[in-house]
A and B are shown apart, each in its own frame.
Chain A
Amino acid sequence: MSKKLLMSFVFLLCFLFKVSAQDRTISGRVTSSEDGSALPGVSVSVKGSTKGTVTDANGLYKIGVPANATINFSFVGFKRVSIVAGSKTTLDVSLNSDASEIDEVVVVGYGTQSTKNLTTSVAKVDAKQIANRPLTGLDQAMQGAAAGVNVTNSSGTPGGGVSVNIRGIGSITGSSQPLYVVDGVPISTGSYGRLGFGNQQTSALNDISPADIESIDILKDASAAAIYGSQASNGVVLITTKRGKAGKTQFTFDSYYGVADTWKSGTGISGSEEVKLLQEMLMNRYAVPVSGGTFTTTAFTGTAQWASPADFAAYYFGAGAGTSTVNGQLVVTESAADVAKGIRTKAIFNNPDLAANTNWQKEVFQSSATKNYDLGIRGGNEKTRFSATTSLYDQLGIVKGSTFKRFSGRINIDHTVSPKLNIGTNLAFSRTWQDRINNDNNIYGVVSAAFLMASDIPVRFADGTYGKDASSSVDNPLASANEPYNLTKNGRLLGTIFGEYKIVNGLSIRTSLNMDYITYVESRFLPTTTNQGVGVNGSGTETASSEQNWTWSTFLTYTKTLGNHNFKLLAGADYQESAYEAIDATATGFPGNAIKRLSAGATKSDASSTGTSWGLASYYGRLNYDFNDKYLLTAILRTDGSSRFGVNNRWGLFPSVSAAWRISKEGFMQDVTLVNDLKLRLSYGSNGNSSGIGNFASLGLSGSGGIAYAGGGGLAPSQLSNPDLKWETNTSTGVGFDLSMIKNRVRVTFDYYKRITNDLLLNVNIPATSGFSSVAKNIGSIENQGLELSLGLTPVKTKNVTWDATFNISRNTNIVTSLGGSPKFAAGFGNWVEEGYALGTFRGYRYDGIFQNADEVAASLQKTTAKPGDVRYGDVDGNGVFNSNDQELLGNALPSFVGGLDNTVSFLGGFDFRMFFQFSQGNTLLNYTKSFSEGMNGVFGQTQGVLNRWTPTNTNTNVPRAVWGDPNANRRISTRFLEDGSYVRLKTISLGYNLPKSIVQKIKLDKVRIYVQGANLWTSTKYSGLDPEVNTFNTSNTSLGTDFLTFPQPRTYTIGVNIGF
């Protein structure tokens, strides 16, 4: 139905055509009024038609015009000029620079629009905010740069994942990440790696070199994003890459070199402190004092009498240890092998100072280099313009064993076949190499083991092998960093071929065929020097996967002016299909560690392949109308059909409408000279989220993956059907204004929005007695409401100094308004999802002090598990029983405010200075690392907090006692581990100097700028962990704000140069 509607709309366009004819040619030169220099790239057009050209390198142009034509000359930064050509055949024009008129062009999807005529909320990040920063991906470039856009680096892993939430999180099981569109083509994003590395992810966005980006436009509002329909509910990020301009061929070379390190590392206890702690843990758990220095252990070996705690501890840990009885007490005899290894021997337990003392944090962190080289060549003539760029980015991680390297290139070509026909192509390729390491929730992680490996284990044993703790499940962190071979290679091809034809005046058609092709090859080899490889004589896994995603997009645009009524119509159709496939294989039993390929493995223990696909068909239309540039209206209608939707809901319809009133254009405002521009905006729109739906989630299926028995392939029901499955519907209403005053030196944008997501896609927990754990259903609602304020100031603008400052702050409140009757549920390590509460809420027990004596324990509800020194928890429900119901909501991981402050100052004719702060305020972090690193329950490495543990003589503390096995679960999620995660961070500070023209020209160059820069140089936070910018769960919507042995952000110092010639 809706499709037909749209098609009728397209046909309607036919009746609005008008034909004109051209009859002569006019030519001339365009110069700058300031210095008379030629202006290349000035747009020259005939008023009332779509005819136009641009000036060449010498400022020359030639254009065919009808009689009595008016010719417009426009160029960014200059005042627009309209001249009636009359009967002239030459027309030279001099343009005056224009500081007052701010009229940027923003990309809005299937076209562009000038900011002054925007009716919705679109944020723009331009090249100069991205350039020269040591950023791996363009998503990082948006951090702190736009109000309402909350960017969180999940970790400091080179090439790691980044979470971007625009105007809050509007989904639970679906994606909350925006749609990325590069030069009009929706691209694949996310983590394509198939091998696990703790929670470490890759990001397909890193395939795009930030140096190729001209601008990033962010459609925040549903009314703007509706043009992308069922993919747009989390906002749309439109990336425009640099294109060639007619004129002299320009070469640019940009390079920087940076050195990075960690701004903070954990502080472990010493080896002797560790040994004392282990002894204390064992004694607190098992020992019953008898008399005269002897004691009995119970519940461990039956009943045994030990001569000393050292004997008992050595027995507990000693490999091959034996016992003998001396005077009725057990005494340990040690094996020679244990003594040779020199860890946890009886001698060491008797004298802990003999223990090794390893600072694992120091061992795994390194000072590392980042190198970047960008070469660009741009130019062309009126017929053909091109831009060719290539980049090499090479980053060494601040944790040993991790690297990210990208080699990329892009060629964008535009060719004018005739005044009516333009064709072009964009072709980008990239290759990335990533050496990866485990981290986060992984016993083979590097940062993980640097925390969890005890400090009394030496880096290496005397025989040169890695020091390992046979009693512990974690591997030597240095072995985990150096020994495994984990290379992820990624190839990416983004190609577009397009043509644009001007059918008649005002009406044009554009079609483009686009391909996004990703390949991943991952190789892993775990040698026998690692715990993972030793048991199986080396283990190798390789995967090969690819995704091809093609899009065909065709649309018509029609512009028409009737008196003061200006219309712009758009109608089009897009088709998209994506196919993914992968092959994985594993082998074990290698002949040594030298050959890493699977061919060498004796046992091919696993081989598997898989494939999946989806398709999307879309029809859309948009009307932009304005009356005299004063009253503006935009209406959008899009319909999407998706293969993911259930048969009962194949097609979704997404309408939106927005309006604006440029008050400053009204007659009564003309005397208010203070105000340069004032616009009031209103919007309402709906769009959808289909990203979280599994490709075949609507079908009832039986699977066979991994289901086999006794050599035969098996089948088992895997999924219940839901033919009603559909997109999540996102509806937002917004109101805002843009104000520019005092000669545009003060610019304010303010927005309020309310975003309601209904038909929330949930994997609803159903009774597991059904044999299924969940079913995908569209139930539930989330509401996000927020305020955004952007301020642009130019406090100083003199001949010698220009100071620009931009500040943005936004507040978003999130609430899960309904789970549609499905049960509330826990997520991550401590998060909780419940109706009436925000996503990211933490839930756990209430820390209520430490039990000081046996009487307190006996009188408590924890008398069966606790002893003096253990944590007392609150009986939250007050029913006199302490159990799982005594958990309460403990804070939220979502910030109250996020924002950024950017200052750029250019001074003394060649210097530029930038200082960019980014902040997050009011968010709670779960320091889950601490629940292990201060767990005092086993052989794990511990941080210095444990030195203040409760003992009968150190009672005034909030750290509980050390006890083996932690019978009271002092480590459970409680207020103990929740911390204020607010921070302010100096993201970038830089100082640059442009060499004077006189010098530069002598060496035959156009421009030379040198600069020094720092990233993350200063951070203010109360958070006690390694880094407040963290989430071990990456882009999860429900598991938020959790730090668990995560790779911290690097602090980077760079020096760089920008050369143009």
Chain B
Amino acid sequence: MLKYIKSFKVLFSLILLALINTSCEKVLDQLPQTAIPSEIKDASSARASLLGAYDALQSANYYGNRIITLPDLHGGNLRHTGTFLSFAEFANRALLTNNAEVTSMWSTLYNGILRSNFIISAVPNIDGNGFPDKEQIVAEAQFLRALNYFTLVKYWGDVPIITAPTTKADESLKVPRNTIADVYKQINADLDAAIAKLPVNSAVGRVNKFAAYALKSRAALYNKEWDNVITNTDLIINAKKYSLPASYSTVFGTKNSTESIFELQFSNTDQSGIAFFMFSSTLGGRNEVRPSTGLIGAYDAADTRKMLGTSYDVAIKYYRIASQDDNVLVFRYAETLLNKAEALVEQGKMTDALPLLNQIRVRAGLAASPASLALDQPAMREEIFKQRRLELALEGHYFFDLVRTGRAATTLTGWVNTQRLLPIPQREIEANTALKQNEGY
């Protein structure tokens, strides 16, 4: 009898063990709590994905900081006062191929392109019923893709054009560089498609038709397509939707002023790092960069745009150090006027350009330039360039303006022409053997 009891106990233990087996394997079924499978399948995921594509612009490696600060540091509007070796390399124009900023900007831009590509490929397949903004979403994604490619092409020249979303990691990712001309072709194609569907009026912080014209005009300026610049700036000017506020400080002091064509929105819960980088450490910043005395000295005493560089607080443009929510003006009306003025001067139409230039000067508290200036094309060029520098300082234009107008060689000491482009990141060259490095690196 005893024997049977023992055997029973054994059996019981084993059955117990076997039971645990099946029921407990459910520990293997776990689900992520902060992410969902990658797909855009309805209006709500399409809208959220579009906000994701805008969010890419807010990155600290993009308009959230680097794309604003580095071109001015690179060109000398800012000087380097902080600790980052990678920033010092920009200031010294001695970039190494593993520069962290170069690497991050490249990745961030293509990550933005991925976000747009996802929308552009998936949203058209969603049922349009109850989805009135379907085409607008695609158009906004096309605009953002164009803006990303424009930033890429002006910094790196030839770059790979990717227009489909990545779904798996394989050899097909190793793509070569496309030519600058092809990249601009892609930009214009996206913008033309976007313009057709973008609204005239859009929600705050979102792009409309005019943002697309503004980007077209800027791209045309870089390509010296003067007619094209004038056509697109006229589309903005003649709509009379935008104007220069009477006071320069309003442009930055008041969010979304009448001048703002596309203003990237930041808030105290969705912050930008620009003021933090520019403010002195004793005022709560990290003192990484500061307006150079060269830039400060270039302003007349009466100029209301003058920065207070040596007294440590940059004031004027990025001053909300406590909330770190300075918006970034990606496109504003003053640039439109200056773009058109520059194109007119290049076409020899100086008298047409002078009133545009004077709108900028007078608003800044300066006297209007005399009519005699319009007789002198080189002087007019200089003045437009100078106003562009002063008006658009610390907005990410200066280095590119120096390069595209051929002034880099005369303005920047030790200029070598290969410095006009950034190196392709070393990590990218290692990961993609089809890429060739830019000259000089």
B-contacting residues of A (Cβ < 8 Å)? 3, 7, 10-11, 14, 17, 19, 21, 298-302, 318-321, 443, 452, 468-475, 501, 503-504, 507, 509, 531-537, 552, 554, 556, 572-573, 575-577, 588-589, 603-606, 610-617, 619, 641-643, 650, 695-696, 699-705, 707-722, 764-773, 775, 777, 822-826, 864-865, 883-884, 932, 937-940, 965-969, 971-972
Query: Would you call B270 and A771 a contact (CB within 8 A)?
Result: no
Among B115, B160, B165, B321, find the residue whose CB has the most chain A CB atoms closer than 10 A: B115
Contacts of A720 in B (CB 8 A): 166-169
A and B contact pairs by CB, cutoff 8 A, 25 listed: A17-B7, A300-B293, A535-B279, A552-B20, A603-B323, A617-B25, A696-B30, A696-B32, A699-B32, A709-B51, A709-B52, A710-B54, A712-B51, A714-B52, A715-B49, A718-B38, A720-B169, A767-B160, A767-B428, A769-B428, A771-B117, A777-B169, A823-B431, A884-B98, A969-B92
Q: How far is the CA of A323 from the CA of B213 in the complex (A)?
A: 45
- On chain B, the residues within 8 Å of A711 by CB distance are 265, 267
User: In this assembly, does B196 line the interface, its C-beta being within 8 Å of a C-beta of chain A?
Assistant: no
Q: A771-B115, A825-B427 are in contact. List 11 more A-B contacts (CB 8 A).
A: A14-B14, A17-B7, A319-B311, A575-B27, A612-B32, A703-B34, A707-B55, A711-B267, A714-B50, A719-B35, A771-B117
Pick from A321, A470, A764: contact of B282, CB under 8 Å: A470
CB of B51 within 8 A of CB of A299, answer no
Please state if A721 and B441 are interface contacts (CB–CB under 8 Å).
no
Q: Which residue of B lies closest to A766 (CB)?
A: B169
B-side interface residues, number (CB < 8 Å): 120
Closest 3 CB pairs of A and B: A535-B284, A771-B114, A615-B27
Of A703, A717, A722, chain B has the most CB atoms within 10 Å of the CB of: A717
Residues of A near B227 (CB, < 8 A) are none
Q: Most chain-A Cβ atoms within 10 A of its Cβ — which of B3, B270, B435?
A: B270
Cα separation A321 to B312 with both chains bound (whole Å): 11
Q: How far is the CB of B429 from chain A (nearest CB, A)?
A: 9
Instruction: Determine the residue in chain B with the shortest Cβ distance to A644.
Output: B30
- The residue that B51 contacts in the complex, of A472, A474, A710, A767, with Cβ under 8 A, is A710
Shortest B314–chain A CB gap in Å is 12
Instruction: Tell me the minimal C-beta distance from B298 to chain A in angstroms.
Output: 8
Given contacts A603-B268, A710-B51, are A705 and B169 in contact (CB under 8 A)? no
How far apart sit A703 and B51, CA to CA, in the bound complex (Å)? 12
Task: Choose among A7, A643, A716 the residue that contacts B115 (Cβ–Cβ < 8 A).
Answer: A716
Q: Which residue of B lies closest to A335 (CB)?
A: B311
Q: Is the CB of B13 within 8 A of A7?
A: no
User: Cβ of A509: which chain B residues have Cβ within 8 Å of it?
Assistant: 13, 17
Does A701 lie within 8 Å of B37, measured CB to CB? yes
Chain A residues positioned under 8 Å from B113 (CB to CB): 771
B239 at the interface (CB under 8 A from A): no
Q: Which of A611, A714, A717, A932 contacts B55 (CB 8 A)?
A: A714
Give which listed residue, B17, B162, B280, B282, contacts A556 with CB less than 8 A.
B17
User: Contact between B38 and A717 (Cβ–Cβ < 8 Å)?
Assistant: yes
Question: Which among A318, A616, A699, A771 has the greatest number of chain B C-beta atoms within 10 A?
Answer: A771
Cβ contacts B406-426/A at 8 Å (1 or 0 each)? 000000011010000001011
B351 to chain A, nearest CB (A): 31
Known pairs A714-B51, A716-B115, A865-B94; A709 contacts B36 (CB<8 A): no
Give the complex CA separation of A469 and B281 in angstroms. 8
Q: Closest Cβ of chain A: how far from B380's Cβ, in Å? A: 22
Known: A320-B311, A473-B82, A473-B287. A573 touches B21 (CB 8 A): yes
Counting residue pairs across A and B whose Cβ atoms lie within 8 Å, the total is: 349
Supposing A443-B286, A708-B51 touch, asked if A7 and B18 sit within 8 A by C-beta, the answer is yes
Which A residues touch B58, using CB under 8 A?
Answer: 709
| Chain A residues within an 8 Å CB radius of B379 | none
Q: Mark B240-271, 1 if CB is under 8 A from A, else 0.
A: 00000000000000000000000001011111
Specify which chain B residues have a CB less than 8 angstroms from the CB of A972 in the assembled complex: 85, 96
Chain B residue at minimum C-beta to C-beta distance from A608: B34
B45 smallest CB distance to A (angstroms):
6
Judged by a CB distance under 8 angstroms, whether B302 is at the interface is no
- Distance of B266 from chain A, by nearest CB (Å): 9
A321-B310, A768-B431 known; A616+B27 contact, CB < 8 A: yes
On whether the beta carbons of B166 and A708 are closer than 8 Å, the reply is: no
B13 touches A470 (CB 8 A): no
Distance between Cα atoms of A252 and B173 in the complex (Å): 67
Q: Which of A7, A619, A705, A967 has the most CB of B within 10 A?
A: A967
Residue of A nearest to B267 (CB): A711
Tell me the complex Cα distance, A777–B413, Å: 47
CA A823 to CA B10, docked complex, whole Å:
56
CB-based contact B45/A715 at 8 Å: yes
Complex Cα gap A764–B431 (Å): 9
Q: Which residues from B are CB-within-8-Å of A883?
A: 96-97, 441
**Once the chains bind, are B267 and A765 in contact (CB under 8 Å)?**
no
A470 touches B32 (CB 8 A): no
Are the C-beta atoms of A884 and B441 separated by less than 8 Å?
A: yes
Is B382 in the interface zone, CB < 8 Å from A?
A: no
B288: Cβ under 8 A from any A Cβ: yes
With the chains together, A363 CA to B48 CA distance in Å? 52
The distance in angstroms between the C-alpha atoms of A643 and B276, with both chains bound, is 42
Report which of B38, B175, B267, B282 forms a contact with A769, defined as CB distance below 8 A: B175
Q: A769-B175, A771-B111, A865-B92 are in contact. Are A614 and B17 (CB under 8 A)?
A: no
Instruction: Choose one: A534, A556, A773; the contact of B13 (CB below 8 Å).
Output: A556
Tell whether, in the assembled complex, residue B114 and residue A710 are in contact, meaning their CB atoms are under 8 Å apart.
no
Nearest-CB distance from A961 to chain B (Å)? 15
Which of B27, B45, B51 has a CB less than 8 Å from the CB of A576?
Answer: B27
Chain B residues with Cβ under 8 A from A695's Cβ? 30, 32
Known: A319-B312, A535-B284. A700 touches B322 (CB 8 A): no
A696–B35 touching, CB < 8 Å:
yes
Question: Given A769-B432, A772-B169, A468–B281 Cβ distance below 8 Å?
Answer: yes
* Alpha-carbon distance A504/B5, docked complex (angstroms): 11
> B211: shortest Cβ distance to chain A, in Å?
14
Contact, CB under 8 Å: A473 / B286: yes
- Are B173 and A766 in contact (CB-based, < 8 A)? yes
Contact call B29/A768, Cβ cutoff below 8 A: no
The reply to whether B35 and A826 form a contact with Cβ atoms under 8 Å apart is no
Query: Are B432 and A767 neighbours in the complex by a CB distance under 8 Å?
Result: yes
Contacts of B282 in A (CB 8 A): 468-470, 531, 534
Contact A473 B288 (CB under 8 A): yes
Q: Which residues of B contact A770 (CB under 8 A)?
A: 110, 114, 162, 166, 169, 173
Quick one: which of B21, B45, B50, B321 contacts A535, CB cutoff 8 A? B321
Interchain CB contact under 8 A, A823 and B427: yes
| With known contacts A319-B312, A321-B310, A641–B37 Cβ distance under 8 A | no
Complex contact B166–A715 (CB within 8 A): no
- The reply to whether B38 and A702 contact each other, CB–CB distance below 8 Å, is yes
Instruction: Kindly state the separation between the CA atoms of A650 and B25 in the bound complex, as whole angstroms.
Output: 12
B91 at the interface (CB under 8 A from A): yes
Closest to A466 in B: B282
Within 8 Å CB of A717, what residues of B?
38, 114-115, 118, 165
Is B293 a contact partner of A713 (Cβ separation < 8 A)?
A: no
Task: State whether B293 touches A301 (Cβ < 8 A).
Answer: yes
B36 touches A710 (CB 8 A): no
Binary flags per residue of B1-24, CB closer than 8 Å to A gives 1, else 0: 011001101110110111011001
Determine whether the beta carbon of B311 is less than 8 Å from that of A701: no
Question: Which residues from chain B contact A617 at a C-beta distance below 8 Å?
Answer: 24-25, 27-28
For the complex, give the distance between the alpha carbons of A768 and B7 in Å: 64
Residues of A within 8 A of B365 (CB): none
B321 near A710 with CB under 8 A, answer: no
- Complex CA–CA separation, A938 to B431 (angstroms): 35
Contacts of A604 in B (CB 8 A): 269
Assess the B10–A17 pair: CB atoms within 8 A: yes
A710 to B97, CA, bound (A): 35
| Cα of A495 to Cα of B94 in the assembled complex, Å | 59
A606–B92 CA distance with the chains assembled, in angstroms: 37
A615 touches B29 (CB 8 A): yes
B206 at the interface (CB under 8 A from A): yes
Q: By the criterion CB–CB under 8 Å, are A702 and B321 in contact?
A: no
